[in-house]
């Protein structure tokens, strides 16, 4: 993919995200919270895995 196409695609995604946040802020907050929970859970699971390897 060319550099110009990547830039255009990135702007389309950014504009869509801004539109989604403006039209439904509660839903957007729920999605961000869910993603945060997944990330925190993944790090906690990884930490538990490493801890089990060490013991």
Which tens digits make up the pLDDT trace of 5-51?
999 999 999 999 899 889 998 998 898 899 999 999 999 999 999 99
Alpha helices in the chain (DSSP H): 3-23, 25-54
- With the C-alpha atoms ordered 40, 41, 43, 44, is the resulting torsion angle positive or negative? positive
pTM of the model: 0.62
Sign of CA dihedral 33, 39, 41, 47: negative
Q: Would you call 42 helix, strand, or coil by DSSP?
A: helix
């Amino acid at each position: 993919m060319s550099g110009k196409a990547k830039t255009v695609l990135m702007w389309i995604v950014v504009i869509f995200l801004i539109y989604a946040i403006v039209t439904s802020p509660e839903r957007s907050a729920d999605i961000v919270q869910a993603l945060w929970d997944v990330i925190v859970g993944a790090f906690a699971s990884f930490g538990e895995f490493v801890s089990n390897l060490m013991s």
